[in-house]
Amino acid sequence: PKEKAPPVLPWRDGSPPAMPKEAKTQQPRFYPADDLPAPKEKAVQNLTKLRESITPGTVLILLAGHFRGKRVVFLKQLSSGLLLISGPFEVNGVPLKRVNQSYVIATRTKVDLPALPIGSIDDDYFAREAEEAQGEEGDRFFSGGAKATSTTSEKRKADQKAVDKLLVDAVGKVEMLEAYLQAKFSLSKGDKPHEMIF
């Protein structure tokens, strides 16, 4: 059937009212049948915030782990957020090591660090080395529980020496600092850690 013309309504001045023009919006040609959920904002991963008191060269007191109580030098923050420290190894036996900020007291003492060859050291440097393929399970049980003794790789030793050469020089410049790093921290009677300035 023919399309009907819009009805002409009687109007005062005889002219019909203007038909409201439809707004021409940009409609997509296709859209999904169901409403899609709005995309969530991607969480931004920032590097763990480093305490203001910890800067390269700060002497830290380790509070946990095998080396608890030792005073070590902070070198840099790794991309995982952990702190890279070194004893230096010659001074107190602490190697290039990763340590968590939370298990550390930052002292006010700072060592004037020169440029150290630690640019290439990041978290993958400390990744566990892949174990050699073990024999059948039976072999392990019968071998009397002999485990392969872990030795430090030559690469680690070389890197340690390279860093410590410069670090020990920097430590030696300050009087008594080497002895300080050799000594362990401990609380004794009457000490109030919440009132002590480190």
Partner 1 sequence: LVYIAASTMGYTRFVEVGRVCLVNYGPDSGRLCVIVDIVDANKALVEGPRSVTGVARQIIPFKRLSLTDLKCDIQKGARDQEVAAALEGADIIAKWESTSWAKKLAAKKKRSNLSDFDRFKVMIARKQKSRIVAAKMAELR
Site string for partner 1, 93-112 (x = CB under 8 A): --------------xxx---
By CB under 8 A, residue 179 contacts partner 1:
yes
**What burial letters (b/e) apply to 146-171, b meaning 16+ CB within 10 Å?**
eeeeeeeeeeeeebbeebbeebbebb
Which residue among 47, 64, 183, 187 contacts partner 1 (CB under 8 A)?
A: 183
* Residue closer to partner 1 (CB basis): 61 or 99: 61
Least CB distance to partner 1 at residue 118 (A): 24
Cα separation, 100 vs 54, in Å, equals 12
Cα separation, 103 vs 77, in Å, equals 14
Cα separation, 138 vs 28, in Å, equals 67
Site string for partner 1, 20-49 (x = CB under 8 A): ------------------------------
55-94 binders of partner 1 (CB under 8 A) = 59, 61, 71
Residue pair 187/129 in contact by the 8 Å Cβ criterion:
no
By CB under 8 A, residue 198 contacts partner 1:
yes
Least CB distance to partner 1 at residue 192 (A): 10
**33 Cβ contact list (under 8 Å, min separation 6):** none
By CB under 8 A, residue 53 contacts partner 1:
no
Which residue among 176, 186, 189, 194 contacts partner 1 (CB under 8 A)?
A: 176
* Residue closer to partner 1 (CB basis): 44 or 196: 196
Q: What is the DSSP letter of 155?
A: H
Residue pair 58/107 in contact by the 8 Å Cβ criterion:
yes
